[in-house]
Amino acid sequence: MSFEIDMIFAIILFAIGLYGVTNKADFLRIFFSLEMLLNAVILVLASSAYHFGMTQNLAIAYIVIVIATLEAAAGVLIFLLSNRITKEVIPDKLDEGGKYND
Amino acid sequence: MVSILLLVAVIILAVISITVKKTVPAVLSFALLMFLLGLYYIGYDEKLLGLFQIFVYTGGIVVLVLFGVTVIGSTFPEEKSRPWAVASIVLIAIGFIVIPFIMPNFNVVENAGNVKAQVTVLTENYAEVAIFLAVVGASLLYGSIRMLHTLKHEKELS
């Protein structure tokens, strides 16, 4: 398995994540898509660490995983807050209504 | 060959978790996606990264997502279709794939430096790491304070 094939699969995963972030309307699928974006980055970092011996990339990959965990925690908080304010989990609705826009 | 099959399965599961209309199959395919990626890293002899991936993603994050599923129910809400998004994302992906191959002197090995110098990046340049962690911590603190303020405001309104 060469680095180029890994990179192509990572780009496809990144494109799927980008599609989800820009096109999907609800928080849960946007959250999945964000995780896919981060995992595409981790895939490239791990593959370059294996093929080229760039071991510092593994340290960066661990940092990215920690950031993804923090993002998950913050995402669930935003998710629940959105549900409390608008009774829905659609980010666009936060602009349209809710108690704080009155 | 097994690696390519794993990556193809990862892509298929990614598409399923984005497009399926029910929430629980989406969460399950997401969890399986992360598990397969962890297995892929273990196959690359990066056991710690693979185990970290499996424990964090299929363990921690999926449980958080399941907590979210209890809020929204068994089906995703309806959404507006945006057909231009698919075309633009395909163009972006093709661009990402093409650009590395048309760049001259794309030789990572020569630019990598020696391993000892790489390992000492986190120990000698600790100031940058400290600044990075400080920015992340400050962001989290600011988000927490804002959330508490919003909750207090909501309580005053009700």
For residue A88, pLDDT beyond 90: no
**Average pLDDT for B52-59:** 88
Among A93, A73, A72, A97, residue whose Cα is nearest residue A26: A93
Return the CATH architecture of domain B1-77: Up-down Bundle (1.20)
Per-domain boundaries in chain B: 1-77, 109-158
Q: Which of A16, A52, A64, A87 to mutate to test the interface with B (most CBs of B within 10 A)?
A: A16
Contact A26 B122 (CB under 8 A): no
Q: pLDDT tens digits for A1-49? A: 688 888 888 888 988 988 888 877 788 888 889 999 999 999 989 988 8
Contact B86 A19 (CB under 8 A): yes
B104 to chain A, minimum CA–CA distance in Å? 15
- For A84, the domain range is 3-88
Q: Angle at Cα B10 formed by Cα B6 and Cα B15, nearest 5°?
A: 150
Predicted local distance difference test score (pLDDT) of residue B105? 54
CATH number for the domain that contains residue A72: 1.10.287.3510
Q: pLDDT tens digits for B95-146? A: 777 766 665 555 555 555 555 555 555 566 666 667 777 787 888 888 778 7
d(CA B7, CA A90) in angstroms, rounded, equals 31
